[in-house]
Structures are given as structure tokens and as C-alpha cells.
Amino acid sequence: LASTAITCFTRGLDLRKETEDVLCPANCPLWQFYVFGDGVYASLSSICGAAIHRGVITSAGGAVRVQTLPGQENYPAVNANGIQSQVLTRWASSFSVTRTKNTALEAVGRSVSTARPSTGKRPKKPLDKKAGNKDCKADIAFLIDGSYNIGQRRFNLQKNFVGKVAVMLGIGTEGPHVGVVQASEHPKIEFYLKNFTAAKEVLFAIKELGFRGGNSNTGKALKHTAQKFFSLENGARKGIPKIIVVFLDGWPSDDIEEAGIVAREFGVNVFIVSVARPTTEELGMVQDIGFVDKAVCRNNGFFSYQMPTWFGTTKYVKPLVQKLCSHEQMLCSKTCYNSVNIGFLIDGSSSVGDSNFRLVLEFISNVAKAFEISDIGSKIAAVQFTYDQRTEFSFTDYTTKEKVLSAIRNIRYMSGGTATGDAISFTTRNVFGPMKDGPNKNFLIVLTDGQSYDDVRGPAAAAQKAGITVFSVGVAWAPLDDLKDMASEPRESHTFFTREFTGLEQMVPDIIRGICKDFLDSKQ
């Protein structure tokens, strides 16, 4: 029985089997795990996070046996082994983690992200030079310091360091692509991602770079790079993390905070490599002492990197490369969790009834909970309909998960007839209309328990034409034909049905998975 290699972020609900042996990678970032419960974990939890929390493995990773269990109520919050698990009132399924019986398994599963050579006896395949390191998918801009701060001599040492990083990354057609921007008075894009796909060419291009001099307007250069560098015509690839590595000698002479915000909005992961940090005497000259924390993707230690000087930097190359290749750590990339708008269209007709309406709201909360809701992340809206429509809240009303969940809890049941077609048109126009040119992908989840009095096919087709992916969720007397007519293609995977309102809960993981699958397909 071979174990499957998983990432730090694989959740219980991503596994298909009742019992599965998995292999967790090493060095997962503890602060990032979502874990709900203690001993019995909600299937929304990260498997590796739960295993560390339980003491089955340490952060060095290893083999874990995952057993699927039924859902339960009141998963407790417990702090153990450096991980604080969170409370969850109810979830549809759970899992437990134990040590695998046979530790010889460890050799079998190879974690993709660490890409160790296989321990089998097969001769090693020669690395396809042209393709590069396929396990390191990244589009990287090196933003180098070309200011008077660094000076010509250290500028050359910086170029050597960047060259070594570029070679070790394993640049190739299917591996990382890199470009270089020089920051000085005005930023200059030296070469783009599309210009070179071989390490040799990149090395040559870096050697040829001339020192510009001027103030170190790093903020200006960072903003320019985030906005202009990663366009498709300049060689950025869809669905691959965008990274800017900012090299800074000393400190920036302009404001870098706004540039950091712009980069995050554009889905770019900013790393800062600071060399020769300001001394105590120099701190008075620095306009913002916290400049590193404000510019990086997340202020969690992962995205900042320090080197004491530009001399003897070889030993710093490999740890930096490992960071740049940890795909799942790129928190600022656009993912299905942080780049979608999900609108819920809720049937408030009299056949639903008060207690079932509560179950509908609970279903909506459980779907919404899985997403990273923020002003630059995912957004949620809700409309209730009978013959009439009422916008409960729009996409821009609430920008935190807490506020969205509390708004869902406060939705009052209307009671009345059922005009689903009208309601879809209303939502397309009034709720999704204002989001038309936004960066997020749009989803509409229609929940209904009966036959609509009007045509649903036309309004649903118009919604899809406007770029909205429609999932239909039917309960009780909702006719399957209506549900299929509303759903996006392929209809089978966008149509859900349950006889009882209590069955909604089981659908939550499938809906979340469906949204993520559509999101990824749209990026390919």
C-alpha cells in the first residue's frame, strides 16, 4: 500500500477513500494551518496540520493514516504542538489521524513540492535541460537595487548573487521564468519573463546589466513592476505564482507601503531581501522603520530574508531558492479561495418554512466559511426571492468573514411565491452588474425547493453569458429539468439535489470543490 504525497494544505475533504495513507512534506508553516477540533477533526481541516496538532508527526513531515469519520457538532479549539485549532459548531464529515503501521512506506510517496530524488533503484532520468525544474512553477521578477546607496562594486556582487539564484532555480520552458527590473531614480525593466528560457541566456543578460545610480525609489519600482511586468504579452503564464524579489541595500528613499498594497491587489507575492540593514545611528534617516513588513506579501517571517553583507553570499542562495519554489506558501497568489465572488440566490417561498430556512442559511454559511473574504479577496452576496426580490447584502457591503457570517445569520425569512427566473435576472443585473470588470471570477448558487412560476432557462443563459457560473441546488419538489436548465455546463457537475433540507450539509464540500475546479479551469 503506497502512501500518497500531499501538500501542507490538502484537507480531509480532498481525499476520496475511507482510509488512506498519506505523506506530509517537511517544513509546513505552522501559522498557516486551518485545523478544527481535537482528535476528531472537521474534514475542512488541513491533514498535515491535524497530524502535527495530534503529535502523529512533527514539522519534519512523515507518513500519516487518515480515517474518514461521520460529521459531528462542536469541534473544540485546543492549542497543541504549536498549532491552535479552531472551534466549528457543525460539519458534515470528520477524520482522525494515526501513525501508519509500516514506516517503510515513507520511501514510496514523494512529495511534489520537495522533489527529492527517488530512493528506488532506477537510474536517474537525466533532467530535461530545456524544460527546467518542473517542480518549481513560478514567474519571478528580480527587482535589483541600482541606487547610489549600493554603488558600483556592490552592484556587481548583487548581480553575481542573482545569477546564482537564477541558475539554481532551474529555469526552463516548463520551470521557473525570470526577468529583471532595476530600481534607481526611475525603474527600468531590463528584460521580461518571455525573453529567455535558459539559465545560460539569463546569466549572460544579468552580466550585461549596467549600473544606473540615483535615489533608491524602491516603492516606485515595486509598484511599476506589479502593474506592468506580469502581463500575458510580456510572458506571464496563467495560474502560475507571480513573485517579485526585491533586493534592498540599506533602505528605500520613497514610500513602499502603497506599492506593497498594489502588489497584493495584483496577486503578486513580494519577497524582500535586505542587505546591510540600517544601523542604530542610521535609523533616524529612514522614513519608515517598518518598511519590510509593509511591503512583503504577509508579515509572517517567510517573505523577508536578510543577508549581513554582499560578501560570501553563496550559502544564502539555496534557502532563498527553496522559498521561491514553495508553491503552496504563495499566499498572495490568486487562488479559488481568495479570488471569487459568490452570490447566493435563496428561495424564500412559503413551502420552505421557518426551520428549513435556517438549514438553508447554515448551508450558505458553511460554503462561505471556506473562502478568504476580504476587500482584495473573495466576496459574498445574498438575494432572497419570492415573486419579489430582496438584496440581503451586496458584494461590497461586508469585507470580513465574521461580518458576512453574521449578515447571513440575520437574514429574515420572507415567505411567498416562487419566481426564480425573475430573481436570476435581478441578481445578474443588480448584484453582479457592478462587479463586471473586477478581477474575481463570478459564481451564482441558486437554492430552490419547488417549481418556478416563470421561465428559468432564458435568465440563466443570460447570466452565463455575462460570465457567471451557475450552480443549482434543489431540495424536495424542485424539478430536475429546471435545475439542469439553470446550471452551467457540464450540467451534471453543476446540478445538486436532495430530498430533505438536512441533506444540504453533505453537499458543502462538493460545491466548494466545484467552485475551485471551475476557477482553475478558467485559468488554464
On the question of pLDDT at 497 being above 70, the answer is yes
Categorize the per-residue pLDDT at 278 as very low, low, confident or very high, splitting at 50, 70 and 90: low
**Same-domain pairing of 319 and 345:** no
Mean pLDDT, rounded, of the chain: 88
**What does the pLDDT average to over 402-416?**
96
**Same-domain pairing of 431 and 495:** yes
Q: Which of 99, 127, 157 represents a domain boundary (last residue)?
A: 99
**Same-domain pairing of 319 and 361:** no
Residue 23 sits in a domain of what CATH number?
2.170.130.20
**Same-domain pairing of 391 and 479:** yes
Residues 4-30: tens digit of each pLDDT? 888 887 888 888 788 889 999 888 776
Report the amino acid identity of residue 211. Answer: F
Query: What is the Cα Rg of the chain in Å?
Result: 26
**What does the pLDDT average to over 488-516?**
94
Q: What is the pLDDT of residue 109?
A: 37
**Same-domain pairing of 301 and 423:** no
Residue 388 sits in a domain of what CATH number?
3.40.50.410
Q: Which of 99, 129, 164 represents a domain boundary (last residue)?
A: 99
Phi/psi region, residue 423 (left: phi>0; alpha: psi -120 to 50; beta: rest), is alpha
Report which of residues 327 and 405 the model is more confident about: 405
On the question of pLDDT at 193 being above 50, the answer is yes
**What does the pLDDT average to over 392-410?**
96
**Structural domain includes residue 21:** yes
In terms of residue numbers, what domain contains 230? 139-329
**Structural domain includes residue 335:** no
Total number of domains in the chain: 3
Q: What is the pLDDT of residue 142?
A: 98
**Same-domain pairing of 504 and 387:** yes
402's enclosing H/E stretch is: helix 401-409
- Number of Cβ within 10 Å of residue 206's Cβ equals 25
Q: What is the pLDDT of residue 31?
A: 63
Residues 87-136: tens digit of each pLDDT? 887 788 899 999 887 544 433 333 333 333 334 444 444 556 688 888 88
**Structural domain includes residue 512:** yes
**Same-domain pairing of 180 and 92:** no
Lowest-confidence region among 107-116, 159-168, 234-243, 285-294: 107-116
**Structural domain includes residue 123:** no
Separation CA 508–CA 510 (nearest Å): 6
**Structural domain includes residue 130:** no
**Structural domain includes residue 42:** yes
Beta strands (DSSP E) in 121-267 are 139-145, 177-183, 188-191, 242-249
73 exposure class (CB count in 10 Å sphere: 0-12, 13-18, 19+): exposed
Q: What is the pLDDT of residue 147?
A: 92
For residue 473, give the nearest of 360, 390, 339 by alpha carbon: 360
Separation CA 268–CA 261 (nearest Å): 10
What SS3 class is residue 271? strand
Asked if residues 87 and 76 have their Cβ atoms less than 8 Å apart, the reply is: yes
**Structural domain includes residue 57:** yes
Lowest-confidence region among 101-105, 109-113, 252-256, 389-393: 109-113
On the question of pLDDT at 80 being above 80, the answer is yes
| Distance set, CA 417 to CA 195, 360, 476 (Å) | 61, 17, 16
Looking at the chain, how many residues does it have?
524
φ, ψ (nearest 5 deg) of residue 393: -160, 150
**Structural domain includes residue 457:** yes
- Number of Cβ within 10 Å of residue 68's Cβ equals 17
**Same-domain pairing of 364 and 306:** no
Beta strands (DSSP E) in 315-448 are 340-347, 379-385, 389-393, 441-448
**Same-domain pairing of 84 and 160:** no
**Same-domain pairing of 381 and 471:** yes
- The three-state DSSP-derived secondary structure of 364-382 is HHHHHHCCCECCCCEEEEE
**Same-domain pairing of 349 and 496:** yes
User: Hey, which of 77-86, 92-101, 121-130, 350-359 has the most confident mean pLDDT?
Assistant: 350-359
Q: What is the pLDDT of residue 16?
A: 77
Q: Which of 73, 99, 125 represents a domain boundary (last residue)?
A: 99
Asked if residues 64 and 100 have their Cβ atoms less than 8 Å apart, the reply is: yes
DSSP state of 34: -
**Same-domain pairing of 348 and 419:** yes
